[in-house]
Structures are given as C-alpha cells and as structure tokens.
Copies of this chain bind each other. A is one copy, B any other.
C-alpha cells in the first residue's frame, strides 16, 4: 500500500535560521521560504535527491504545529509522509484494521488529498498518507 517516503517534516522555531543551517553547514539544496497561511505554516523544502525534508514554522494563530513547538521549543521531527496511490482505499484498509485517523482526509500542502494516522497506533510516529497523482503513460 504505502509507497515512497514523500518527506520528513521537522518543526523549527526559526525557519530562516534552520534553512540557513541546512544550506550553509550541511551544504543542502534549500528552497525559498513559502508561506502557506491556509495550512498554518511556513515551509522550506530541502531536496535530498531521493526525498524531501520539510522545515515547518508556525504561521498565524492555531497553527497545527503550535502545540508541538510549545512542548518542544527547540524543534524536532514532527511527522513522516508516505505516498499512496488511493487514499480512500488506504483509509478503508487501515480503519477496518483498527487504526485511527486524526480527522478526515483533506487537501494537504502539496494540493493532494492527505490524512494523518494517530501516532499512538504507530509507535509514537505521526504518519501522513498523501495520495499521489497516477502516472499517465502516453498511448
């Protein structure tokens, strides 16, 4: 069911400073700061070639990572995201097996349907599932 690791998300208290560390100290490819007010975060993508690190900073009131940073003011690994070809099918399999979703599926920061699984069902790890666009082969 799950496919590629789409990204690992790290919540940080200072996005510009975090991006600078990845770029200047680790020599990574760090993109620009992107504000995603509808998702309550600002984000910088680190391209590792095979996957992405998403550095997340809260944006606005009620950010979904506000509580995490209140508990972990220095930042920390927040979630990992796996790609699935069919989110509704994945949710059906998982819920029938007893796994709990954190809310309903919605459109995520990449414009694709996503859902989050309860971290208590997966060893303290918050897992996001993101439906990826099907690969279309020309005739």
Contacts and interface: CB of A to CB of B under 8 A. Distances in A.
A80 interface: yes
B123 A4 contact: no
A124 interface: yes
B125 A10 contact: yes
Contact of A123 (B24, B27, B76, B93): B76
A125 B51 contact: no
A127 B26 CA distance: 10
A25 B97 CA distance: 7
A5 interface: yes
B51 A51 contact: yes
A8 B8 contact: yes
